[in-house]
Every structure is written in C-alpha cells, then in structure tokens.
Amino acid sequence: MSQRVFHIQVLFFARARELAGTDSTQVKLPADASVADALDQLARSYPELGKYLGSCRTALNEQFVPPNTPLVDDSVLAIIPPVSGGV
C-alpha cells in the first residue's frame, strides 16, 4: 500500500522569491511531514535559497509557525525573509 502524500503550496516573498526564481511552487510530502521537512525539500530543490532559509520565518495558512509544526494537506506555506533583509 502506498503512503499518503500531502500537497503543499509554497509562497516565496522578497529575497526568497529572488533566490527561488519564482513566487510559488508545489511540493509533495509524506502525510507525517513537518514544516522542517518542507524546508529541507526546498533547500534541495533551490540550493541558493537553501543557504538563506535559516534566517526566514515560516507561516502555515497565514499563521507563523515553528519548523516542527506538522503539515496539513492542501496547506499554504509562506517563506518570509527578515524585514531587514537578513543574510
């Protein structure tokens, strides 16, 4: 039996958008994945962005969340750089 997969929309803002080269993407993750797992996948898909993700905030469905937050299918994950620009 195949493992259930969640589909997550990721939105990139400001410098994160520049480094990713897009304003959004879709990721597929196992149903038991967390925000940290999504960030790991993004770092592999966008190496330049990966170096910068540690200074970004994350919001899941418009609420700031820590990396250990579990994902929910069809959620929207926003990658938000620091206001001062960070790294």
Residue 64 forms part of a structural domain: yes
User: Residue 84 to residues 21, 30, 36, 56, 77: CA-CA distances in angstroms?
Assistant: 20, 34, 23, 11, 21
Neighbour count for residue 52 (Cβ, 10 Å): 19
Residue 53: CATH number of its domain: 3.10.20.30
Give a yes or no: residue 86 inside a domain. no
3-class state of residue 87 by DSSP: coil
pLDDT value for 62 = 96
- How many folded domains does the chain comprise? 1
The pLDDT of residue 63 is above 80: yes
- Average pLDDT of the residues in 22-45: 97
H or E segment and range at residue 78: strand 76-80
85 part of a folded domain: no
Please report whether residue 52 resides in a domain.
Answer: yes
Give 1's pLDDT tier (boundaries 50, 70, 90).
Answer: low
In a domain, 87, yes or no: no
Whole-prediction pTM value? 0.90
Domain carrying residue 11: 5-80
Tell me, what's the pLDDT at 13?
Answer: 97
Contact by Cβ (8 Å): 84, 17: no
The answer, yes or no, to whether residue 85 has pLDDT greater than 60, is no
**Does the pLDDT of residue 72 top 80, yes or no?**
yes
